[in-house]
Amino acid sequence: MAIKSSQTLVAEALKTVKTISPEEALKLVNENKCNLIDIRDAFELQREGSVENSFHIPRGLLEFSIHPDSAFSQREKLDPNKEMVLFCAAGGRSALAANTLKEMGFEKVSHIEGGFGAMKNSGFKTS
């Protein structure tokens, strides 16, 4: 049995998940049509900053936090009828995470190509 590399897993995820540009994501945010979810860890947020109007759910807790019946759910904030738009630092983890949300049964899921690095240069307000 061959063990798949992280690069292989990301490549496979990219074949099944919707990838959007930072500009497309900004349009969805401005039109209030998505939940913008930052899956970077807390250390990354402290070091790099966070994106205005985004929800922080670390990758390691995503499956536990996003399910509507979870005790950790941010359901009072997340709108399940809107698209779940995920981002990480560069796009790899968010592709894997978006794939996982699809496996969980979420239908409107995408991730941002280039992640936080690309978003900083595309009009997103960061702090």
Q: What is the mean pLDDT of residues 9-34?
A: 94
**pLDDT of residue 73 exceeding 90:** no
Give me the domain span that covers residue 97: 6-119
Distance of CA 57 to the CA centre of its chain: 9
pLDDT for the residue numbered 76: 60
Angle (nearest 5°) at CA 58 between 56 and 59: 130
Question: How many domains does the chain divide into?
Answer: 1
Residues in the chain, overall count: 127
- pTM, rounded to two decimals: 0.92
Residue 124 falls inside a structural domain: no
Residue 125 falls inside a structural domain: no
Whether 88 and 40 have beta carbons less than 8 Å apart is answered as: yes
Residue 127 falls inside a structural domain: no
Q: Which CATH number do you get for residue 102?
A: 3.40.250.10
Between CA 46 and CA 72 the distance in angstroms is 22
pLDDT tens digits, 25-65 = 999 999 999 999 999 999 999 999 999 999 999 999 999 88
